[in-house]
Amino acid sequence: MKIFTTILILFVSNIIVAQTASLFGKIIDSRKAEPVPFAAITINHQAQKGLSGWGSKTTNADDKGWFRIDSLKEGDYSIIITAVGYLAKTYPVITFKKDTVILLEADLYVPCKYDDKKNDPTCPKCHKKNKVVPIVYGLPVGELDEDNYYYAGCEISLCDPNWYCKRDKTKF
C-alpha cells in the first residue's frame, strides 16, 4: 500500500488570534485506512541562528485520530508522530508563518516481518532463488499452477508472507 502524506497550507487570517499559527490534522493507519486513536504528536521549534526557540509541545490525538496544536510562533518546526505498535513518522522541517493553519494528514505504518523480503525472492534458509515461487492468496479459479505458485488460501491478514521456498518448505 502506498503511503502518502498530504500537507495543505491554508492562509486564514480571521481564525488565528495574536498572529500565531496552528497545526491540526488526522492520524491514519496506512494499512487499514482507519484512524489511529491517541497517537502522540510532538512539535519542536528549531531556533534560528542567534535566537532561542521555545522548545516543544506535545498533544495526543483523540479517539478518532484528530489533533490540534495552537499558538505556534513563526519559524521552522520538526514534527514527530508516534503510536504504540507503529513506526514513528517524522517531518524534519515545516515552516509556519503568522496567521497560518497547516492541515496535516499523516499515515502511520505497522511494521510487518515480511516487508524486508517483499521484493527479494531469496530463501532465508538455503539462500537460493531457483525453488522460490510467489504466494497467491484468495480463491483460485480454473486450473492450479502449483509449479509456479504456492496457493495459501483465502484468509488474508495485514502481514502475510510473499514467497514460498519449495526446497525448505518455508514461507517468507
Give residue-wise pLDDT tens across range 45-71. 986 655 555 678 999 999 999 999 999
pLDDT at 6: 34
Would strands 66-72 and 75-82 be described as parallel, antiparallel, or unpaired? Answer: unpaired
**pLDDT of the residue at 50:** 53
In terms of C-beta density within 10 A (0-12 exposed, 13-18 middle, 19 or more buried), how is residue 4 classed?
A: exposed
pLDDT of residue 20: 87
Q: What is the pLDDT of residue 15?
A: 39
pLDDT value of residue 3: 33
* Cα three-residue angle 29-35-41, rounded to 5 degrees: 85
Give the pLDDT confidence score for residue 56 in this predicted structure. 87
Low-confidence ranges of the chain (pLDDT < 70): 1-18, 47-54
pLDDT value at residue 48 = 60
Residue ranges per domain, the chain? 6-108, 113-172
**CA 91/CA 145 separation, integer angstroms:** 46
Burial class (CB in 10 A: 0-12, 13-18, 19+), 113: exposed
Return the pLDDT at 157.
Answer: 85
- H-only helix segments in the chain: none
Q: For residue 53, what pLDDT is reported?
A: 55
pLDDT computed for residue 10 by the predictor: 33
Question: Is domain 6-108 classified as CATH 2.60.40.10?
Answer: yes
Residue 2's pLDDT is what?
Answer: 33
CA angle 16, 17, 19 (to 5 degrees): 85
